[in-house]
Amino acid sequence: MSAVDLRATTATGTATARGSSDGRRQWRRQQWIRRAPLLPALIFTIVVTQLPFVATLVISFLNWNSLYPDERRFTGLDNYAAVASDRVLRNSVVTTVLLTVLVVIISLLIGLGLALLLDRSFPGRGIVRTLMIAPFLVVPVAAALLWKHALYNPEYGLFNGMIAVVANWFGVTAPQPDWISNFPLPAVVASLVWQWTPFMMLILLAGLQSCPLDALEAARVDGAGAWQVFRYVTLPHLRRYLELGALLGSIYIVQNFDAVFTITSGGLGTANLPYTIYTTFYQAHDYGRASAAGVIVVIGSMIIATFALRVVLSMFREETKR
């Protein structure tokens, strides 16, 4: 190759590189123009959600009790060690896990049964679906007050009233139990199950309606009964939806505060971690230790949320492959 040809090739390559570089700049400029309207919302979200967490993280490394303002100082991981060694906080962690597991499992089982029923055609199905969703739309504090006063009250509550009516039919006097005092944790669990079952039902109903009809028809043609179709076709298809419902439900129920605060005020062994953080912050005024416990709750929720996002992404991939 001569020197003239070499210079021509070099010039052509340089022009191509410049054109490619200009194209990338133009593409980036267009991308930023498209994203610019979303920047205020992004900045607002960061300010509202991330700055409070950063402030909580900083406070968690301080010995900060408002009753002793002169002793405020940096203590490193002492608050986290105190959270790990505090018997009350450890008990609240156990209560939180127990409460979450019970509510999620019972809600999933009842929600699965309701979803199977509502997946069938019958007159008024739309109205029934709307009524079944209603508990999930009730404000959590209002739902807890409803259960505490309208259902659990030993004097005028619905449960004891029904027991009295049935006892009168048989001519006996039935006991009138104090549901909250005698069964504190089941009382909280029942109110949360009532509120979260519609959420599980909606997720599982969506899963049932996305079940391939040809697979169901092929199973029936091969002689499979109703239980075998459910066991070997429907249930495997619902696995992702069950995982999604369990993970999303766990994220919210781990952070539940309204039911525990309203129904039992954290007494009788029902104090979960959010309620214990509340008492540590507002009653003991120990901001450092309460912030450390709060950071632990956030990290636990983020771990669960990560698994939930993976399940959602895998569901999207499966839908794309179909």
197 token code pair: 């079952």
pLDDT in tens, 219-230: 888 888 888 888
Spatial distance between the Cα atoms of 297 and 262, rounded to a whole number of angstroms? 21
Residue 314: the pLDDT is: 74
Closest of 184, 205, 183 to residue 136, by C-alpha: 205
Which secondary-structure segment (H or E) carries 214? helix 213-221
pTM (2 d.p.): 0.76
Q: How far is CA 252 from CA 81, 140, 277, in A?
A: 26, 12, 16
Res. 32: pLDDT tops 60: yes
Of the listed ranges 12-21, 55-64, 266-275, 288-297, the least confidently predicted one is 12-21
Residue 187: the pLDDT is: 92
Q: How far is CA 182 from CA 94, 99, 185, 187, in A?
A: 20, 17, 9, 9
DSSP label of 152: S
